Structure 1
Amino acid sequence: MFFISLNASVLSYEEIKKEPKSLAKDYYIYRLITETKYDKNEIKELKKDIFRNKGKLQTQIDKILPPFKKQDNCNGIGSKNILDANLSCKLARMFPNFIKSISQGDREALIKEFASRADLINLLQGYNQKNPAKYYAKTQNAKNFFIYYNSINQQEQDDKFNFALEPEFAQTLATKGYFKTFVVNSVLQKKHEVLTKSLLELNTTVLSDDSAFFLGLQALKFNKPKKANELFFQAKTTYKKQFDKDKSSFWMYQTSKDINLLKELSNSQNINIYSLYAKEMTGNNQVEVVIPQPTKKSVKGYDSSDPFAWVKLKEKVKTLDLKNLEKYADKFDTKNTVGEYIYIANILSGYKDNFYPMPFMDYLKDTNIHRRALIFALARQESRFVQSAVSTSYALGMMQFMPFVANDIAKKNKLKDFDQDEMFKPEVAYKFANIHLDWLERYLYNPVFIAYAYNGGLGFTKRTLLRGDLFNDGKYEPFLSMELVPVQESREYAKHVLANYVIYLQALSVESNTSILTLLKTLTIPSLSDSFRK
């Protein structure tokens, strides 16, 4: 057994055991292990109830209860004696790094032995060539092309894959499941541009959603706006979510300047940066949002700061018919349960997601309108204002603070007897958000960059800005840079936060004259957006 400290606020085994399987339960199991003198047998019992045995919880569980290791019947078989192994062991060792480690002569011997296994023979033969990638392309083996790609590092990928593909093989690749990831990674990481340029010759009808969209971005980099427009159109027809369709329409407009596309986009029912941009450009400033203004204070018998209460409510909601859902929506339409209310109301509305609540305003009375709008914008994206939300990484509360960040803020601000579960209280969540944003705004001045930092960290944001190839002046800027931020979660997160911010500024002050165009424009002006670029 091991422990860090004995903390009386951590739930006991008995308290945790009775609760339903959920991320909340995982979080408290993790705290029990890392902050108390746990009982190994109790952890063994709790392991049966783990909802998501991954990441840091899995690491801790595996230390206490080491996973069963399957016996390796091929133990001792290496690159020097592979030919002495039986057939099953030879096959078990046929993964890229092992194949690379054996001699060419041994690979030739194995090729003869594997006469009936065409893909494996092709994989082995590729490693006998100067450039396996070119060999797999030449022999039209998409499976081994991707296997090899995933077995080498980024530098090798750029060296080995920077060649033009024959149209027939490119067409074959486009039908494979991994193709989308391959394209997105290639465009975002700016790798093997000769290869990606050859992909622009593909018939667009074989492409779908992200593969079409990111190749459209790549076409812009090669100054092929007409081709980009075709690809964005294909993305639009294959995307399922309205947000993504709007994104495609926006880029179709950027590459054609067809005002009809802008008008269509301005009428989108989805509130996002693309539709808000179109509304401002066309003068269609009508945005339909719902700002709940509950009159009741709270729900009797429901503790909005208890993560398990939220878990049980979600399970209950799944069982309700329309009539009872409406009753529950009315029941939770209170000042203290705004997050729970909009969760239920969104189900009733068909997930229109046009709720923009501004709960617990009293805790923000000493902040200016910009800060209020920013906190609401972040909270809406982080938790939809559910006070007791717990994420897969155990981020906590409305503002989704990671425990180590919350504990660090508490320590630096000399908050005695602080426990990270206090992040489930709105007054604490807002207080910590203000402290954290005070720090971030020393370096970042635009809500987009602040959102990158809030989600991905200040270090990530600094590295992104100092790369030198993003958020500069250019024909499609800053929009192109916003699509090319390398981390998907942070990239999309910031788009949503910016849209939220604009809506909240307008809701908080009709005189604010908030302009999304101005906010976007300043992203390419370092003096107005960040302190890192000079």
Structure 2
Amino acid sequence: MKKIVILIFLFGSLLLGKDITLKFLESKPQGVVRDFYIWQFISNDKTTIEEAKRAYDLVANKIPRIQQAMEKKGVPTQMPKDILCKSLEFEKLKDQDGECIAFGLKLSDVLKFSDKDATLVMSKIKSINPALYEQIKILRSKDILNAMLATSAKNFGMIFNGISYSQKLELFAHPISPKKIEVLANQNNVVFNKMLHNIILDPRFGVFKKSLARANITKSDTNTFFLLGINELLQKRDKKALLYFERSQKAAIDPFMRDRALFWRYLITKNKIFLEELSQSQFVDIFSIYANQKIGSVPKYQIVSSFEDISSKNPDFNVKDPFEWQVLRDNIFAINDEKEYAEVLNYFRYEKTLPHLVFFLNRATKYKINYFITPYEKLLSWRDDDEKSMVYAIARQESHLLPALISRSYALGIMQIMPFNVLPFAKEMRIKHIELSDMFDPQTALEFGNYYLNHLKEEFKHPLFVSYAYNGGPGFLRRLLAKNELFLKGRKYEPWLSMELLPYEESRFYGMKVMANYVVYQELFGHQIDLEKFLKQTIIYTKEKK
């Protein structure tokens, strides 16, 4: 097995030092890593349009960032069909073939079509995209809302997602039969469920949310059941909320989701039976931490922060090479024999590869052990333990502390720094020479992440708010908090309710998980934090009277 692993390493390293060329890209395995390098290649002024188009054909996931890079390369007619069609105004789009129309059509424009244009578009896309045909047909009907209620949950959700916000508000200003909502919701369709999440977390859509509260939805996923419970709380129907939280707990596969639902059953009832059950969790999250602190019990979850027999020598592969990491990860995950898998992990017993060891151990242990490691700790001079706790809390959530990680949005390295932030941060930090690939160096990445976190702390103060800003951006959080609708003084269930009302799902869960990491790291560094008191420090806003 060692020979195979070494060959993998060599494969990844062969072209590491060369410039990005089309040949280089074609030689690399498909995936996010190659997409990131394709994006850089396309963005290079020296890359011709023809080269860019050939590189674009290699892309595994055509995210907006890479599509925008293509748009900047030349005139629209030279672009790949999907980008070209999305850029066309309707008057030009309607003259294209059905595939192009399906790429570029905005459902929000359908309500503005003339009957002639609607007939033309529908005739072209009927055989190519029957679902889109049905959605247009519904939007052209005399009673759109009733036509939506008669279609599938997926079509309903797709139409909602496709129309403008003002169109949504106008459409949903009318009362809807709770029974009809039940029929759609009980289809447990992911698109419809996501629509429900968005509506529940939006301060508007009051008429729909009242109808939703009168429905009895019995078939759904854990997160939708949970947010249905939140909707009931907002409608001051705590008893009904309890029912949905119970359903959420039963539907949960992820221990985080299970603990979250169980915690809210306690929060509403103050029944310590729920708290005691929660204290038995083997998973570290803010809910299990809260339960153990509240009843003074010894946690049942296991935390591992260090390993014995770890070598200080350099490992057999380059931890800064994202291609090596991708190939290595995929090959090791392909090992089905448990004994062979365990043997391979011995090749990661180095100080520089502790994150990789933990990454693979998590799979072997099925996440039943909670690893809180601090690799590369000595590479920085820390101001204090609070600074260090916050950096590791963020890094653990962002990247599992893996140096050469690239996200689907091309966030880079341990701290998942976005490419557009690298040069501005470097300038502010007075670093003259920097490349995007420098974010794969643990020391550089930690320095950049720490710099950004300290910058965010100056404005947002509390670690929870800092974590939201790090994930969603300071502008997002600034606008959100300025509304004075969250973390309100005197409101029942605060700050827990506001933590569930954050409209951006990724940031919502991110903040909860980073806070659990933060509390654990603080404890590992010798500092006890009372979670309840700590989170209550976020209740600083007052709802303005209208």
Letter aligned with residue 521 of structure 1: K
Partner of 2:145: 133
Do the aligned residues in 2 keep the contact of 1:204 with 1:234 (CA within 8 Å)?
Answer: no
Distance between the aligned counterparts of 2:158 and 2:108, measured in 1?
8
Q: Relative to structure 1, is the Cα distance of residues 503 and 89 closer, same or farther in structure 2, using a 3 angstrom cutoff? A: closer
Does residue 492 of structure 2 align to residue 475 of structure 1? yes
Q: Relative to structure 1, is the Cα distance of residues 155 and 371 closer, same or farther in structure 2, using a 3 angstrom cutoff? A: same
TM-score, length of structure 1 as denominator length: 0.84
Partner of 2:273: 260
Partner of 1:524: 539
2:173 pairs, out of 150, 155, 162, with: 162
Do the aligned residues in 2 keep the contact of 1:10 with 1:31 (CA within 8 Å)?
Answer: no
Partner of 1:406: 422
- 1:57-87: per-residue Cα shift (whole Å, max 9, x none)? 2333464662147999xx99989x99xxxx9
Does residue 269 of structure 2 align to residue 289 of structure 1? no
Report matched runs for 1:323-334 at 5 Å. Answer: 323-334=339-350
Partner of 2:525: 508
- 1:364-411: per-residue Cα shift (whole Å, max 9, x none)? 343200001001101101111111111112111111111221211112
In the TM superposition, residue 335 of structure 1 has moved relative to its aligned partner by 0.5
In the TM superposition, residue 226 of structure 1 has moved relative to its aligned partner by 0.4
Partner of 2:12: none
Distance between the aligned counterparts of 1:449 and 1:514, measured in 2?
17
TM-score, length of structure 2 as denominator length: 0.82
SS at match of 1:305: coil
In the TM superposition, residue 518 of structure 1 has moved relative to its aligned partner by 1.7
Partner of 1:19: 28
2:516 pairs, out of 499, 510, 522, with: 499
Does residue 360 of structure 2 align to residue 348 of structure 1? no
Letter aligned with residue 205 of structure 1: T
Partner of 1:276: 289
In the TM superposition, residue 179 of structure 1 has moved relative to its aligned partner by 2.7
Letter aligned with residue 261 of structure 1: F
Distance between the aligned counterparts of 2:485 and 2:522, measured in 1?
31
In the TM superposition, residue 467 of structure 1 has moved relative to its aligned partner by 1.2
Do the aligned residues in 1 keep the contact of 2:63 with 2:409 (CA within 8 Å)?
Answer: no
**Count of residues in correspondence between the two structures:** 504
Q: Relative to structure 1, is the Cα distance of residues 187 and 316 closer, same or farther in structure 2, using a 3 angstrom cutoff? A: same
Report matched runs for 1:238-387 at 5 Å. Answer: 238-286=251-299, 287-293=301-307, 295-320=310-335, 321-352=337-368, 354-387=370-403
How well do the aligned residues superpose, as a CA RMSD in angstroms?
Answer: 3.8
Does residue 40 of structure 2 align to residue 31 of structure 1? yes
Distance between the aligned counterparts of 1:203 and 1:251, measured in 2?
19
Partner of 1:3: none
In the TM superposition, residue 363 of structure 1 has moved relative to its aligned partner by 2.2
In the TM superposition, residue 134 of structure 1 has moved relative to its aligned partner by 5.0
Higher relative contact order (CA 8 A, sep 6+): 2
Do the aligned residues in 1 keep the contact of 2:53 with 2:79 (CA within 8 Å)?
Answer: no
In the TM superposition, residue 47 of structure 1 has moved relative to its aligned partner by 4.1
In the TM superposition, residue 465 of structure 1 has moved relative to its aligned partner by 1.1
Q: Relative to structure 1, is the Cα distance of residues 145 and 329 closer, same or farther in structure 2, using a 3 angstrom cutoff? A: closer
Distance between the aligned counterparts of 1:472 and 1:354, measured in 2?
33
SS at match of 1:289: strand
Do the aligned residues in 1 keep the contact of 2:345 with 2:360 (CA within 8 Å)?
Answer: yes
Partner of 1:215: 228
Do the aligned residues in 2 keep the contact of 1:11 with 1:32 (CA within 8 Å)?
Answer: yes
Letter aligned with residue 510 of structure 2: Y
Letter aligned with residue 493 of structure 2: Y
Do the aligned residues in 1 keep the contact of 2:107 with 2:159 (CA within 8 Å)?
Answer: no
2:113 pairs, out of 78, 86, 101, with: 101
Partner of 2:472: 456
Distance between the aligned counterparts of 2:364 and 2:468, measured in 1?
32
In the TM superposition, residue 168 of structure 1 has moved relative to its aligned partner by 2.9
Percent of counterpart pairs with the same letter? 28
In the TM superposition, residue 211 of structure 1 has moved relative to its aligned partner by 2.4
Higher mean Cα deviation, 213-222 or 325-334? 325-334
In the TM superposition, residue 90 of structure 1 has moved relative to its aligned partner by 13
SS at match of 1:440: helix
Partner of 2:11: none
Distance between the aligned counterparts of 2:89 and 2:53, measured in 1?
33
**Mind listing any 5+ residue stretches in structure 1 that lack a counterpart?**
1-7, 528-534
Do the aligned residues in 2 keep the contact of 1:183 with 1:196 (CA within 8 Å)?
Answer: no
Do the aligned residues in 2 keep the contact of 1:163 with 1:192 (CA within 8 Å)?
Answer: no
Do the aligned residues in 1 keep the contact of 2:469 with 2:476 (CA within 8 Å)?
Answer: yes
Distance between the aligned counterparts of 1:70 and 1:404, measured in 2?
22
Distance between the aligned counterparts of 1:288 and 1:508, measured in 2?
17
Distance between the aligned counterparts of 2:332 and 2:342, measured in 1?
11
In the TM superposition, residue 267 of structure 1 has moved relative to its aligned partner by 1.1
Distance between the aligned counterparts of 2:455 and 2:90, measured in 1?
55
In the TM superposition, residue 249 of structure 1 has moved relative to its aligned partner by 0.6
In the TM superposition, residue 198 of structure 1 has moved relative to its aligned partner by 1.7
Q: Relative to structure 1, is the Cα distance of residues 190 and 253 closer, same or farther in structure 2, using a 3 angstrom cutoff? A: same
In the TM superposition, residue 514 of structure 1 has moved relative to its aligned partner by 1.3
Distance between the aligned counterparts of 1:230 and 1:454, measured in 2?
35
- 1:148-175: per-residue Cα shift (whole Å, max 9, x none)? 5344322332232133322431222213
- 1:438-474: per-residue Cα shift (whole Å, max 9, x none)? 2111112211111111111111111111111100122
Distance between the aligned counterparts of 1:155 and 1:48, measured in 2?
37
Do the aligned residues in 2 keep the contact of 1:27 with 1:394 (CA within 8 Å)?
Answer: yes
Partner of 1:530: none
Higher mean Cα deviation, 439-448 or 282-291? 282-291
Do the aligned residues in 1 keep the contact of 2:315 with 2:350 (CA within 8 Å)?
Answer: no
Do the aligned residues in 2 keep the contact of 1:10 with 1:28 (CA within 8 Å)?
Answer: no
Distance between the aligned counterparts of 2:113 and 2:258, measured in 1?
47
Letter aligned with residue 367 of structure 2: Y
In the TM superposition, residue 32 of structure 1 has moved relative to its aligned partner by 2.5
In the TM superposition, residue 21 of structure 1 has moved relative to its aligned partner by 2.1
Q: Relative to structure 1, is the Cα distance of residues 292 and 89 closer, same or farther in structure 2, using a 3 angstrom cutoff? A: closer
Distance between the aligned counterparts of 1:40 and 1:91, measured in 2?
25
Partner of 1:394: 410
Do the aligned residues in 1 keep the contact of 2:389 with 2:521 (CA within 8 Å)?
Answer: yes
Distance between the aligned counterparts of 1:244 and 1:189, measured in 2?
21
Q: Relative to structure 1, is the Cα distance of residues 70 and 186 closer, same or farther in structure 2, using a 3 angstrom cutoff? A: closer
Letter aligned with residue 489 of structure 1: E
Does residue 160 of structure 2 align to residue 149 of structure 1? yes
Letter aligned with residue 133 of structure 1: L
Distance between the aligned counterparts of 1:322 and 1:89, measured in 2?
49
Q: Relative to structure 1, is the Cα distance of residues 267 and 51 closer, same or farther in structure 2, using a 3 angstrom cutoff? A: same
In the TM superposition, residue 360 of structure 1 has moved relative to its aligned partner by 1.5
SS at match of 1:354: strand
Letter aligned with residue 358 of structure 1: T
SS at match of 2:406: coil
Do the aligned residues in 2 keep the contact of 1:377 with 1:498 (CA within 8 Å)?
Answer: yes
SS at match of 2:499: helix
